[in-house]
A and B are shown apart, each in its own frame.
Chain A
Amino acid sequence: GAVVSQHPSRVICKSGTSVKIECRSLDFQATTMFWYRQFPKKSLMLMATSNEGSKATYEQGVEKDKFLINHASLTLSTLTVTSAHPEDSSFYICSAVGQGRIYSNQPQHFGDGTRLSIL
């Protein structure tokens, strides 16, 4: 149980392109999903918290107009990198939490990430 599916796994595209990444909870309803960015050999950096039916909460320094997040249903959140540039190249990972707060026994479950390469 608690499977999170993330697509695509890899994207290579030209500078200026917008890229959409999907994150789906397959066997549970996720009231909250998180989007992370990970640089090589580094830890996970939280970009934003996405709650179903409401606007995402972005971490300091993350451009909300650059990284558009939509959480339209309890099983799907999307991250769109708009007008991507080479510096946006990174490994993007989503996670999902079931109904209830994290410290009420609802751990985060991660997708397998999307490697984005902007040429």
Chain B
Amino acid sequence: GENVEQHPSTLSVQEGDSAVIKCTYSDSASNYFPWYKQELGKGPQLIIDIRSNVGEKKDQRIAVTLNKTAKHFSLHITETQPEDSAVYFCAAPKTGANNLFFGTGTRLTVIP
């Protein structure tokens, strides 16, 4: 089955700097990789996802890169703002099923 590892567990950056969160996965057949943002007391919100037929995807200040050979994918947030502070989770599909394995989460703090 799939195993997803995420790091760092906590990340503090100054406002305006970039933040990078990395995840690795074990199942080479995985082909869909979403990223979720979870604010305190809320459910996770999908912020960006990437499929295995592309290596990079951008949406304004957020980008995700995928390296299928190395089996890792990363979330990049540029020009960070205090409202980016939250817990971020990566995920990958469970082989043979339609559910997801989630990483352990990264608590991002953007310092004004």
Q: Assess whether B51 is in contact with A44, with CB atoms less than 8 Å apart.
A: no
Chain A residues with CB below 8 A from B44, complex form: 44, 93, 95, 110
Cα distance, A102 to B46, chains bound together (Å): 14
Query: Which A36-60 residues have a C-beta within 8 angstroms of B?
Result: 41-44, 46, 49
Q: Assess whether A111 is in contact with B43, with CB atoms less than 8 Å apart.
A: yes
Chain B residues with CB below 8 A from A110, complex form: 36, 43-46
Chain A residues with CB below 8 A from B61, complex form: none
Cα distance, A16 to B42, chains bound together (Å): 27
Q: Assess whether A43 is in contact with B43, with CB atoms less than 8 Å apart.
A: no
Given known A43-B89, A46-B99, A49-B97, contact A102–B43 (CB-CB < 8 A): no
Q: B98 within 8 Å of A by Cβ?
A: yes
Q: B49 within 8 Å of A by Cβ?
A: yes
Query: Chain B nearest CB: distance from A117 CB in Å?
Result: 13
Q: Assess whether A102 is in contact with B41, with CB atoms less than 8 Å apart.
A: no
Chain A residues with CB below 8 A from B31, complex form: 103
Q: Assess whether A43 is in contact with B104, with CB atoms less than 8 Å apart.
A: yes
Q: Assess whether B46 is in contact with A6, with CB atoms less than 8 Å apart.
A: no
A88-118 interface mask toward B, CB cutoff 8 Å, 1 = contact, 0 = none?
0000010101000111010111111101000
Chain A residues with CB below 8 A from B89, complex form: 43-44
B8-39 interface mask toward A, CB cutoff 8 Å, 1 = contact, 0 = none?
00000000000000000000000110101000
How many residues does chain A have at the interface if contact means C-beta atoms less than 8 Å apart?
Answer: 25
User: B45, B93, B107: which contacts A102 (Cβ < 8 A)?
Assistant: B93
B82-112 interface mask toward A, CB cutoff 8 Å, 1 = contact, 0 = none?
0000000100010001111011110100000
Q: Assess whether A97 is in contact with B98, with CB atoms less than 8 Å apart.
A: yes
Closest 3 CB pairs of A and B: A110-B43, A102-B98, A103-B32
Residues of B within 8 A of A (CB): 31-32, 34, 36, 41-46, 49, 51, 89, 93, 97-100, 102-105, 107
**Extra contacts besides A44-B44, A109-B46, A110-B44 (14): CB < 8 Å:** A34-B99, A41-B107, A43-B103, A43-B104, A44-B102, A46-B100, A49-B97, A93-B43, A97-B98, A102-B98, A103-B32, A107-B34, A107-B46, A108-B100
